[in-house]
Amino acid sequence: MTTRQRERERRLCVVRRAWWHDKAANRWQHFQHWKAAGDRAHFWKRRHLARGEVKAAKVNEEQIAKLGPLVHKWEGKWREADHEVRRYSKRIDELTPKPPPVPSGEGWHVPIAAWNPYRRKVANWIVREIVAAKSRGARGVVNSGLRTYSEQKYLWELFKYHGGNVAAYPGTSNHEGYVYPRGAVDWSDPQSLHGHLPPGHKLKWAESVGFADWPHFSGTGH
């Protein structure tokens, strides 16, 4: 099955699940309605019998006989819809593409994730911390990750001569390495990332070490 077919089937499943979910909610209401009516009939039958009102109890008996099949019918219909909801949920899970696993160990890669729209190269140890922070609710995206010497030189020249963003001298930036404590990222919402990093995180926000480079994160903060 191609990716496109999978996506098509997944969308169909989402629509069908919503349809069955609606049905299930509706049938549950019917089921509860008739069940409550049956319970009331049982209650009054017992009470009438306790009072020795046999005739009234007989009427309740007839009600119970009529309500029983209705309860049974709506419970069955509700269970059927509920089963369909679960079935489609399971299928949607199967068809939803899994995010690629975060590589363990050192090195770097290009994370395929919503938080990396510019497809930057990022050190693996930093990716692990970003994934954790994202799952804790961090907002923002990577603006800059691993750089080559010439990329760093270009940014430094922009900074030095053309009023560009803060950039270290080529050859000295943590953006040029990826083995901890080297490796760096610039993040669009640094306060949010800083606030959602997992306990024991190694990534330091420049601001938190008094280094004036607002979006910058690295092992040392520089």
Instruction: Specify the 3-state DSSP secondary structure of 80.
Output: helix
Q: Is 45 in the site for Zn ion (CB under 5 A)?
A: no
The closest of 177, 183, 172 to 218, measured between CA atoms, is 183
Stretch that binds Zn ion, among 27-35, 50-58, 67-75, 181-189 (CB under 5 A): 181-189
Q: Is 147 in the site for Zn ion (CB under 5 A)?
A: no
Q: Is 216 in the site for Zn ion (CB under 5 A)?
A: yes
Are the CB atoms for 216 and 184 separated by under 8 Å? yes
The closest of 126, 134, 125, 141 to 187, measured between CA atoms, is 141
Q: Is 176 in the site for Zn ion (CB under 5 A)?
A: no
Q: How many residues bind Zn ion (CB under 5 A)?
A: 3
The nearest distance, CB 216 to Zn ion, in angstroms, is: 4
Q: Is 17 in the site for Zn ion (CB under 5 A)?
A: no
Angle at 28 between CA 23 and CA 32, to 5 degrees: 155
Distances (CA, A) of 50 to 42, 54, 57: 12, 9, 10
**Which of 64, 126, 130, 186 forms a contact with Zn ion (CB under 5 A)?**
186
Of residues 129 and 186, the one with the C-beta less far from Zn ion? 186
The nearest distance, CB 144 to Zn ion, in angstroms, is: 6
Hey, which residues does 168 pair with through a beta bridge?
A: none
The nearest distance, CB 175 to Zn ion, in angstroms, is: 6
Per-residue interface string for the shown chain with Zn ion, residues 111-130, x marking contact by CB under 5 A: --------------------
The closest of 177, 172, 154 to 164, measured between CA atoms, is 154
Which residues form the interface with Zn ion (CB under 5 A)? 184, 186, 216
